[in-house]
Chain A
Amino acid sequence: MFDISPAEWTAILLSLRVAVVATLVATPFGIALAWLLARREFWGKSILDAAVHLPLVLPPVVTGYLLLLTFGRRGLVGAWLADHLGIVFAFRWTGAALACGIMSFPLLVRPIRLSIEAIDRRLEQASSTLGAAPWQVFATVTLPLALPGVLAGMVLGFAKAIGEFGATITFVSNIPGETQTISSAIYSLIQTPDGDTAAGRLVLISIVIAMGALIASEWFARRATKRLHGN
């Protein structure tokens, strides 16, 4: 039962790589967006807010198909990126990372936004009277106080990214060693006769990863409260 085959290892490691890259690249964008939604009023804010949450409510196959249309080799953005920067997403692991990053984005942004909203704005005022320019206020007060929320969002986004299936398989297919993540490997195994044991192993592994992420996220959230109360 616990004899993990090389093919399964490949899927596990690929999943980890895809999820790590997706989370790390998405985090700066997530922080910027969370700050914008928490701290600024502007025209179109509710539309932006809805757009961020869209991957959560759209059928993943739709998101995947839209990615294919946009970032595929003949897609508007995809063709340009391939011609000018040599970046190809279609049927590559980078495409899987893109799909996972977008699908997990709402889960990444939400805890960050909540933790920024929970920060006492009067502390930011105090910081500016002490000579901090707006970017310094952000770097020395807002971001450090929101850090546990940032970490919680990263963990949650990571957990979502590692389990993503629908958008990924639609966008970059299910190529062993290139785009076959744990989820798509399980899917393939279930379709194969005698694949049950191997599928069971991967299922167990994904449960362990997801549980670990949720526990870590909870722990970061608790630290956030402690930090805000100054202990």
Chain B
Amino acid sequence: MLRVDVTKQLGEFLLEAAFESQGRVTGLFGASGAGKTSLINMIAGLLRPDRGVIALDDETLDDTAAGVHVPPHRRRIGYVFQDARLFPHLDVRQNLDYGRRMNRLAADPAQHARVTDLLDIGHLLDRRPGKLSGGERQRVALGRALLSKPRLLLLDEPLGSLDEGRKEEILPYLVRLRDEGIPMVYVSHDAAELRQLATQIVMLKQGRVTALGGVKVLT
């Protein structure tokens, strides 16, 4: 369960959002500039709320009143960025292995094989990110986040930088990912995308939550 109740002043913009989610895939829906990315940056720990609480299951990640702020590297929350952010100096194999190395987890060849199969990236392992297409890059970024064995996966418009054809190419992988069972927060401004993926919707407008509920709130 994810519980968020935060306030953050960002220049002129005030983000004041509270929601609780039990859903497997929480869809964070809103127009660009609604504060979606700032909100998940706070869940990831990259941005500190001015006031409020963020809790995942029974662990408090942020509690400004109690002075609690767990740094991002101790949260075990995976993050798939819109722009992939693969490490340019590492090949695909090293990118995929990065989270496991940083967390000092034992090698898990079975999991590695399953993830590379799931995302069809087995043939890309020896390439550098500079030699990948946009869709391939996004799939590797998904794999990299998954292989760090997160307890929650944040996806910030993972299809946002792709054209229509590429979106169709990635969407089935995201559906498979959802069926893997890792809880996800999926950020998008595309209602159709969320209808296919989300089990619960948080609607964000100008920094505030305006609706909560099943996918039918999207209509």
Which A residues are closer than 8 A to B by beta carbons?
120, 122-123, 125-134, 136-137, 140-141, 144-145, 227-231
Contact = CB atoms under 8 A, between A and B. Distances in A.
B188 interface: no
Given A131-B76, A145-B88, 9 more contacts: A127-B98, A128-B45, A129-B77, A129-B79, A131-B99, A144-B89, A230-B88, A230-B89, A230-B128
Contact of A129 (B46, B128, B129): B46
Interface string B75-117: 1111101010111110000000011001100000000000000
- Majority SS at the chain A contact face: helix
B166 interface: no
Contacts of A123: 85, 87-88
Contacts, number: 77
Contacts of A132: 73, 98, 102
Nearest to A125: B46
A220 to B, nearest CB: 15
B172 interface: no
Interface of B: 44-46, 71-73, 75-79, 81, 83, 85-89, 98-99, 102-103, 128-131, 144-145, 148
B72 A128 contact: yes
Contacts of B44: 129
A134 B144 CA distance: 19
B19 to A, nearest CB: 21
Contacts of B79: 126, 129
B161 to A, nearest CB: 13
A126 B99 contact: no
A131 B79 CA distance: 11
B89 A127 contact: no
Given A122-B81, A133-B73, A136-B102, A127 B128 contact: no
B130 A230 contact: yes
B99 A128 contact: no
Nearest to A126: B85
A65 to B, nearest CB: 44
A231 B131 CA distance: 7
Nearest to B79: A129
